[in-house]
Structure 1
């Protein structure tokens, strides 16, 4: 019994260092349901961001501004760790789950080799 207790304490300590999300990820949080708005130009992305701040729904802004997956409201579906480019993945796994009606998104937009992304997460597993 004593070794189990020690192992639990060590594991708990590691999670505290890495942040609270790490514990959830180790329990199966290895995929996120992602929506994004992708714009090649930063100016267009900032314009999309201002529409979100005005209260426009995320999927509507994606249809109007995104250069990728616009017809599906920016829905990329379920994405796993390792299937996204570095900065996009870091942001996606750091965001809390939210809805298109009241999204919690990346502000400022995330820059990758594809352009500028406004990202939101609809689910985690």
Structure 2
């Protein structure tokens, strides 16, 4: 009987893995390209100086959480962990938006980041959700 129980839990694990695979691939279409989104939940770290942006990026690469680095180093007035909230396409700076909409979703503890320079300074960008 113990063997049957293990088989059941293995099939549940397999089913769960398939669901997780579907969820993970829901943002990519054929050819691995991102499906078009009409809005994204975006965070950023804004630094006036390139050297400060590089320092923040190094902290993230070394395992620091994105939101914690944003609170510590971002020069943006709204320092809520760098959260800009949900933004619809067309509501952000063109270059910033292009980078942001090109990113896959990730978490603050393991962020997939992009970088862009705008008239405001140097940004490190991550996306937490896509619709």
TM range (shorter): 0.7 to 0.9
Contiguous gaps of at least 5 residues in structure 2: 1-28
- Name the counterpart of 1:89: 97
1 CA distance for matches of 2:78 and 2:40?
19
Does residue 20 (structure 1) correspond to residue 26 (structure 2)? The answer is: no
Aligned length in residues:
103
1:86 positional shift? 1.2
- Name the counterpart of 1:116: 122
TM-score normalised by length of structure 1: 0.76
Contiguous gaps of at least 5 residues in structure 1: 1-14
Match of 1:64 among 65, 72, 77: 72
Q: Determine which structure has more spread, i.e. the larger CA radius of gyration.
A: 2
1:20 positional shift? 2.8
Runs of 4 or more above 4 Å deviation: none
What RMSD in Å do the two structures reach over aligned CA positions? 1.8
> What is the DSSP-based 3-state SS (H/G/I as helix, E as strand, rest coil) of the residue aligned with 1:90?
helix
> What is the DSSP-based 3-state SS (H/G/I as helix, E as strand, rest coil) of the residue aligned with 1:72?
coil
- Name the counterpart of 2:14: none
1:87 positional shift? 1.0
